[in-house]
């Protein structure tokens, strides 16, 4: 079935939004997309929250852009696990992002200057408050479900704590109740790469007509390593050398054979180029390509803001560190999903949330999917994963008026 | 017992050294240290190979520098696991390094210019060949043992393949028979951070009187994350906030309590600063401090060369990918040690070497130490680890003339 056509919309808000950092956005806009139809009872709405570098474009494709599928198009659409023939699905771009909603690239109404580094720090809680306002404007007083993966899962969890009466179900995929020190560490290295790029200019690079691409490339390369598992990297790339189109081998070596110890591709027996700066291994060209692509479209200040929102999220914090106490406010029913090789948001972190919800006698379904792809698995097709989400939403559909 | 006094020596070599990359070093020097006394039979020599950022200064301290202990001083010295009262221990700084042996900061005799990026790519095999020449000059025709951790372990393994008759024992700690795609990926990100630093100048920054410190800082921060385990990072830092000496909290929050889910430090309940660029979490200041310190003393070109030597090491490569075939050349007896939480050079990689050696009916002792510290564990005090190495060297001592 060809992907359906999606079209982004933008809503303007003149009512000031108080942020956790103390600042106030007195004027802002949110870009969003909707798929399917809101039923007469207005009880079939599903809010999808995005992760670090995604957007409101969750499903479908844009007119005349066949390769513009939304980031969760494999999960959401007519007849899919989240069936837009039954649900009214909403994707929202978060504040501080760079895909339409008010962010660092926009003009600060108080100064008439582009925000840049002056855009206030936003938190998961701030995003949820902004999302709640959009839903009010759309006449949706209660969500059938809120769902998201990774950082999007944190927003789904926060919805159940900030607006417990307005969420019937929360689907939290490949997420965590807060970041570990290692998670924060990777975010910090990425931020330092951006902030110390001479083209960053303290976050006001727009004025100088430059982009801190070096920093963005490094940030993305680090991110990509943490999205994949060691296993899948060895399967996809192993120790294979640069593309065969590169300079031919200088000599000959023994015939190739499978590597029993490592698995993955048979060893590439062309001679090394012996260079510290040229691409030698395929994993290097893959990471460089991903870094270049990312630096062409993503905003550096947005990267800082969104990684910080990840660092700051920690609902247990206001409860003396007790996640069980923090989740006592939730009224929704939950589906949590984690992936066995996800070392960024490991199954252990999902089990902590399951336990804290069970401690509060909440209704929780939990699926730990055995998948090789690491954190990326939440975006990929996996029959068991898709079936679990489909079954859960089939049950939600039965509750609809 | 106070550390004994160590003093570095330098030996000059006029005989050209052919390198794997095709280049030739026609003139070079090696800086080294020795501890203990070579016995009359000249059969008690132990060569210690260093890892990425270490040097020939393995044990003891320098005169009037009480805080200058060698990097393996806890392991090697009078009465220690490797007892310098019985063994004659040699530490050598590798070619391409920045601590005395010929490297990128030295003058290229062919041009009269500083090598910089023109220093040829060196491999583990090249290092072993250079080390072998130093041993010849010292009149040592056979080593009682060669030992090293991480990249140093790769050198120890390579010794048994390049000079099988000249090594009686090899001690390979927290090492691997080659790097995984993920290992190479982390090295590549670190190299890109250095190479894309505007102060790198293609590797000829010395001429410009600058140092690519931004890149070196990022490289070191990435490295540090991979040296530690997620667990030990959570124990040491958790989500604790910046040092209490920083601006006081703006408000008050509920009383602290232990976090049952995460373990580690009790949650730091001071208010967030809400900044994307200032230090918020202690793990951030730790990493920044490590990065700054490293960028003050380590050479950028050396970092590229040594990470490449790691990437290139792969003895199975010349044998169609069969590690068992590759290790058939070894004649030494082996002790391998790995650490349970080391995700950089995991126990799995050590077991591959053990299996390949057993396939060749070699004598192998293997210890998998349950330690929380990740890859760093090979440098730290651990009673079981130290006891295993001590017992092995006690047995070696029994064979001495």
pLDDT in tens, A277-320: 999 999 999 999 999 999 999 999 999 999 999 999 999 999 99
| CATH code at position A216 | 1.10.1740.110
Question: Are residues B199 and B132 part of one domain?
Answer: no
Judged against a pLDDT cut of 90, whether residue A265 lies above it is answered with no
What's the pLDDT band for A257 if we cut at 50, 70, 90? Answer: very low
Judged against a pLDDT cut of 80, whether residue A3 lies above it is answered with no
Question: Are residues A98 and A49 part of one domain?
Answer: yes
Q: Looking at A81, A342, A346, A350, which residue is catalytic?
A: A342
Question: Are residues A307 and A284 part of one domain?
Answer: yes
Asked whether residue B282 is assigned to any structural domain, the reply reads yes
User: What letter would DSSP give residue B142?
Assistant: S
Predicted pLDDT at B242? 86
Alpha carbon distances (Å) from B223 to A29, A118, B204, B219, B291: 41, 32, 24, 6, 9
Annotated binding site of A: 220, 376
Q: Name which of A263-272, B7-16, B271-280, B338-347 the model is least confident about.
A: A263-272
Question: Are residues B108 and B152 part of one domain?
Answer: yes
The response to whether B376 counts as a known ligand-binding position is yes
Judged against a pLDDT cut of 80, whether residue B255 lies above it is answered with no
Chain centroid to CA A91: how far?
12
Question: Are residues B184 and B137 part of one domain?
Answer: no
Question: Are residues B360 and B332 part of one domain?
Answer: yes
The boundaries of the domain holding residue B189 are 179-244+276-312
The response to whether B278 counts as a known ligand-binding position is no
Backbone dihedral region of A3: left (phi > 0), alpha (psi from -120 to 50 degrees) or beta? beta
Asked whether residue A131 is assigned to any structural domain, the reply reads yes
Predicted pLDDT at B1? 57
Asked whether residue A23 is assigned to any structural domain, the reply reads yes
Average the pLDDT over A18-28 and give the result: 96
Judged against a pLDDT cut of 50, whether residue B347 lies above it is answered with yes
CB atoms within 10 A of CB B7: 10
User: What letter would DSSP give residue B26?
Assistant: S
Predicted pLDDT at B236? 94
Alpha carbon distances (Å) from B63 to B1, B69, B215: 16, 11, 33
Mean pLDDT of chain B: 93
**In this complex, do B185 and A221 lie within 8 Å of one another by their Cβ atoms?**
yes
- As a whole number of angstroms, the distance between CA B340 and CA B317 comes to 27
**In this complex, do A181 and B317 lie within 8 Å of one another by their Cβ atoms?**
no
Asked whether residue A301 is assigned to any structural domain, the reply reads yes
A151-195: pLDDT as tens digits: 999 999 999 999 999 999 999 999 999 999 999 999 999 999 999
Q: Which residues contact B51 (CB under 8 A, 6 or more apart)?
A: B148, B149, B150, B151, B152
**Under 8 Å between Cβ of B316 and B161:** no
Judged against a pLDDT cut of 90, whether residue B360 lies above it is answered with yes
Domain count, chain A: 2
Closest residue by Cα to residue A364 from A356, A373, A374? A356
Question: Are residues A203 and A143 part of one domain?
Answer: no
Predicted pLDDT at B172? 98
What's the pLDDT band for B92 if we cut at 50, 70, 90? Answer: very high
Question: Are residues A192 and A72 part of one domain?
Answer: no
What's the pLDDT band for B2 if we cut at 50, 70, 90? Answer: low
Contact pairs from chain A to chain B, CB under 8 Å: 245
Q: Tokens at residue A361, please?
A: 């006698």
Question: Are residues B352 and B238 part of one domain?
Answer: no
B169-224: pLDDT as tens digits: 999 999 999 999 999 999 999 999 999 999 999 999 999 999 999 999 999 999 99
Q: Three-state SS string across chain A, please?
A: CCCCECCCEEEEECCCEECCCCCEECCEEEEEEEECCCCCCCCCEEEEECCCCCCCCCCCEECCECCCCCCCCCCEECCCCEECCCCEEEEECCCCCCCCCCCCCCECCCCCCECHHHCCCCCHHHHHHHHHHHHHHCCCCCECEEEEECHHHHHHHHHHHHCHHHECEEEEECCCCCCCHHHHHHHHHHHHHHHCCHHHHHHCHHHHCCCCHHHHHHHHHHHHHHHCCHHHHHHHCCCCECCCCCCCCCCCCCCCCCCCCCCCCCCCCCCCCCCCCCCCEHHHHHHHHHHHHHHHHCCHHHHHHHHHHHHHCCHHHHHCCCHHHHHCCCCCEEEEEEECCCCCCCHHHHHHHHHHHHHCCCCEEEEEECCCCHHHHHHCCCHHHHHHHHHHHHHHHHCCC
| CATH code at position B335 | 3.40.50.1820
Question: Are residues B174 and B50 part of one domain?
Answer: yes
**Under 8 Å between Cβ of A46 and A143:** yes
A31-76: pLDDT as tens digits: 999 999 999 999 999 999 999 989 999 999 999 998 999 999 999 9
Q: Which residues contact A155 (CB under 8 A, 6 or more apart)?
A: A49, A124, A127, A128, A131, A146, A148
- As a whole number of angstroms, the distance between CA A322 and CA A313 comes to 14
B281-306: pLDDT as tens digits: 999 999 999 999 999 999 999 999 99
Judged against a pLDDT cut of 70, whether residue B3 lies above it is answered with no
What's the pLDDT band for B228 if we cut at 50, 70, 90? Answer: very high
Q: Three-state SS string across A106-136, please?
A: CECCCCCCECHHHCCCCCHHHHHHHHHHHHH
Domain boundary (A253, A287, A312) is at: A312
Alpha carbon distances (Å) from A185 to A97, A344, B335, B345, B377: 22, 12, 34, 20, 19
pTM of the model: 0.94
**Under 8 Å between Cβ of A257 and A266:** yes
Predicted pLDDT at B267? 72
**In this complex, do B259 and A356 lie within 8 Å of one another by their Cβ atoms?**
no
Asked whether residue B255 is assigned to any structural domain, the reply reads no
A322 in contact with chain B, both atoms CB, cutoff 8 A: yes
Predicted pLDDT at A284? 97
A252 belongs to the catalytic site: no
Question: Are residues B154 and B42 part of one domain?
Answer: yes
- As a whole number of angstroms, the distance between CA B326 and CA B387 comes to 30
Predicted pLDDT at A258? 36
Asked whether residue B50 is assigned to any structural domain, the reply reads yes
ipTM field: 0.93
Instruction: Quote the crossing angle between the two packed helices B213-227 and B300-312, to the nearest 10°.
Output: 40
**In this complex, do B177 and A261 lie within 8 Å of one another by their Cβ atoms?**
yes
**Under 8 Å between Cβ of A150 and A323:** no
A85-135: pLDDT as tens digits: 999 999 999 999 999 999 999 999 999 999 999 999 999 999 999 999 999
What's the pLDDT band for A2 if we cut at 50, 70, 90? Answer: low
Domain boundary (A312, A339, A368) is at: A312
Maximum distance among all Cα pairs of chain A, rounded to whole angstroms: 73
Give contacts of A262 with chain B, Cβ < 8 Å: 178, 180, 321, 352
- As a whole number of angstroms, the distance between CA B284 and CA B269 comes to 17
Predicted pLDDT at A246? 40
Q: How many CA atoms lie within 13 A of B232 on its CB side?
A: 18
Name residues 21-40 of chain B within 8 A of A (Cβ).
Answer: 21-22
Asked whether residue B251 is assigned to any structural domain, the reply reads no
Asked whether residue B263 is assigned to any structural domain, the reply reads no
Average the pLDDT over A197-220 and give the result: 97
Judged against a pLDDT cut of 50, whether residue A229 lies above it is answered with yes
Judged against a pLDDT cut of 80, whether residue A260 lies above it is answered with no
Annotated active-site positions of B, please?
150, 342, 375
Residue A121: is it exposed, middle or buried by C-beta count within 10 angstroms (0-12/13-18/19+)? Answer: buried
Residue in chain B nearest A220 by alpha carbon: B189
B43-87: pLDDT as tens digits: 999 999 999 989 999 999 999 998 999 999 999 999 999 999 999
A221 in contact with chain B, both atoms CB, cutoff 8 A: yes
Question: Are residues A62 and A131 part of one domain?
Answer: yes
What's the pLDDT band for B270 if we cut at 50, 70, 90? Answer: confident
Average the pLDDT over A223-245 and give the result: 89
Predicted pLDDT at B401? 80
B291 in contact with chain A, both atoms CB, cutoff 8 A: yes
Domain boundary (A289, A312, A335) is at: A312
Closest residue by Cα to residue B111 from B207, B17, B13? B207
Task: Choose, out of B179, B321, B350, B351, the residue to mutate when testing the contact with A (most A CBs < 10 Å).
Answer: B321
């Amino acid at each position: 079935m060809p992907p359906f056509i999606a079209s982004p919309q933008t809503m303007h808000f003149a009512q000031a939004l108080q942020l956790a950092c103390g600042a106030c956005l007195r004027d802002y806009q949110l870009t969003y997309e909707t798929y399917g139809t809101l039923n007469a009872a207005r009880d079939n709405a599903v809010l999808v929250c995005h992760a670090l570098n995604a957007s409101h474009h969750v499903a479908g494709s844009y007119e005349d852009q066949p390769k513009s599928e939304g980031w969760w198009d494999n999960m959401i659409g007519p007849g899919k696990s989240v069936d837009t023939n039954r649900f009214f699905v909403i994707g929202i771009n978060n504040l501080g992002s760079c895909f339409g909603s008010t962010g660092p690239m926009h003009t600060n109404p108080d100064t008439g200057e582009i925000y840049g580094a002056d855009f206030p720090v936003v938190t998961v809680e701030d995003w949820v408050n902004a999302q709640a306002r959009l839903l009010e404007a759309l006449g949706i007083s209660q969500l059938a479900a809120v769902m998201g993966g990774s950082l999007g899962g944190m927003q789904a969890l926060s919805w159940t704590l900030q607006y417990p009466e307005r969420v019937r179900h929360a689907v939290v995929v490949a997420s965590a109740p807060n970041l570990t020190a290692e998670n924060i560490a990777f975010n910090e290295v990425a931020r330092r790469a951006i902030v110390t790029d001479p083209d960053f200019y303290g976050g006001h690079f727009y004025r100088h007509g430059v982009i801190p691409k070096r920093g963005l490339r490094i940030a993305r390369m680090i991110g990509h390593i943490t999205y994949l598992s060691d296993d899948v990297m060895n399967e996809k790339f192993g120790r294979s050398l640069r593309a065969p189109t590169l300079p031919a081998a200088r000599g000959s070596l023994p015939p190739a054979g499978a590597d029993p110890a490592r698995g993955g591709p048979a060893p590439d027996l062309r001679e090394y180029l012996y260079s510290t700066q040229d691409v030698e291994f395929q994993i290097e060209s893959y990471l460089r390509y991903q870094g270049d692509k990312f630096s062409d479209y993503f905003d550096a200040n947005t990267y800082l803001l969104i990684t910080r929102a990840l660092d700051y999220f920690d609902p247990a914090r206001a409860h003396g560190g007790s996640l069980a106490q923090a989740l006592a406010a939730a009224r929704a029913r939950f589906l949590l999903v984690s992936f066995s090789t996800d070392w960024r948001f490991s199954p252990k972190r999902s089990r902590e949330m399951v336990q804290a919800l069970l401690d509060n006698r909440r209704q929780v379904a939990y699926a730990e999917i055995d998948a090789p792809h690491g954190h990326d698995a939440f975006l990929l097709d996996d029959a068991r994963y898709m079936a679990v989400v489909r079954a859960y939403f089939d049950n939600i559909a039965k509750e609809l008026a």
